[in-house]
Amino acid sequence: MKIIKSKQLCVMASICLALIGCSDQQPQQQSEQLRPVRTLLLSSQVDGPLVEFPAVVDAASSADLSFKVSGEVTDLLVKQGEEIQLGDVIAKLDTTDYQLSLDDAQANYNKAQADFSRAKQLIKSGTISQSDYDQLQSHFTSAKSKLANAKNNLSYTSLKASFSGVVARTYIERFEEVQAKQVVATLQDIKHVTLKVNVPESLMIKVSKDAPKHIIAEFSGIPDKTFPLDFVEVSTQADEVTKAYEVTLSMTRPENYNILPGMTAKVLAKGADVNKSGLYLPINTVLKDASGNYVWTVEPAGAGKGEIKKKSIVIGEVSTLGFPVISGVVEGEYIVTAGMSKVSEGQLVKFNKEAQ
């Protein structure tokens, strides 16, 4: 009997030790099973959000060049994409007819000048009447005007560059018959380019009267690089269809990149920041239910642990920095940024404030 009792006591002692061991391990296992969460420490943003606009590149100066007279093109001296200087000849017309007109005008002028010179002497002696004198003077004035016109027409047979730039496009061929005012070539100054953006009235009304000081351009073909822009002008009358206002910006064309008129760009400008709190929530952190918008936050609840809290919030219109906070959360709170669908009010999660 003593042997049996001893065995029973041993078994009971083993069971007690096992139970004590299990009770010691249970909190440790629960701690290890806490779900980790990813959080963001909410802090005030010094700079306001950037407003993004699509833009189209244009030349700083652009002109469609044409002859002032008609005729046959004898020379086309430029090619598309060629850089030319102020005064360089772009094309020439056949001068035959214009030279003949000039010679005829010169002969008529010479005769009228001689007749009028004699009339000046004869009027003094009374040899000719005042009406004859006036008629000769009129002929001389008319001949002088026709001579000047003939000289101009001859000079107009050479089309010259009105400024230094690049020949963007030519529209004629050699030996082609062209009319006066017909576009021959487009000349552009692309050392500086402009970017035009359309600003809606909802944003335009918030723009300061002073020109914005931080505006940059991005091009899809030039990743990870931005270009500073200068403010040029803004229209004060909205487009009748889009109700937007055209803003013109300029930049120096970079040497290493072939930025040309007609290309598209993205303009980023610092908008009017009406968010007094300076706090912004990432778009993915804001949730919504029947009661309105809310976020999940984490409050420290002991070493390595945090407690999930649901915070109702009031937010403004989305910007490049996220949703501006009007009320509901304050600076210094930890916002859950991932796994929001797997947390609930009061849930304990793995959280280390110092490791954030």
The CATH number of 52-60+190-270 is which of 3.30.360.10, 2.40.30.170, 3.40.50.300, 3.40.630.30?
2.40.30.170
Which backbone phi and psi does 99 adopt, to 5 degrees?
-70, -40
Q: Residue written as tokens 């050392």?
A: 191
Please give the pLDDT value at position 47: 59
Q: What tokens were used for 304?
A: 């390595």
Residues of the chain with CATH 1.10.287.470: 95-154
* Longest CA span, the chain: 177
Residues of the chain with CATH 2.40.30.170: 52-60+190-270
Handedness of CA 298, 299, 304, 305 (dihedral sign): negative
Please give the pLDDT value at position 5: 47
pLDDT band at 49 (very low <50, low <70, confident <90, very high): low
pLDDT band at 132 (very low <50, low <70, confident <90, very high): very high
> What SS3 class is residue 289?
strand
pTM for this structure?
A: 0.57
More confident residue, 47 or 153: 153
End-to-end CA distance of the chain: 65
With contact defined as beta carbons under 8 Å apart, do 279 and 329 qualify? yes
Residue 102 confidence (pLDDT) above 50 = yes
Could you say which architecture CATH assigns to the domain 32-49+276-355?
Beta Barrel (2.40)
Residues of the chain with CATH 2.40.420.20: 32-49+276-355
Reported as a single tens digit per residue, the pLDDT across 239-280 is 888 888 998 999 988 888 888 888 999 998 765 555 666 788
Residue 162 confidence (pLDDT) above 90 = yes
Q: What is the C-alpha separation between 59 and 132, in angstroms, rounded?
A: 59
Reported as a single tens digit per residue, the pLDDT across 331-341 is 899 999 988 88
Please give the pLDDT value at position 213: 59
Nearest C-alpha neighbor of 159 from the set 50, 257, 68, 62:
68
With contact defined as beta carbons under 8 Å apart, do 238 and 201 qualify? yes
Please give the pLDDT value at position 46: 55
Please give the pLDDT value at position 207: 62
Q: What is the C-alpha separation between 193 and 58, in angstroms, rounded?
A: 6
Strand 292-300 relative to strand 305-312, pairing: antiparallel
Average pLDDT over residues 177-199: 92
Average pLDDT over residues 199-216: 69
Q: What tokens were used for 110?
A: 């010479």
Q: Determine the topology of domain 95-154 in CATH.
A: Helix Hairpins (1.10.287)
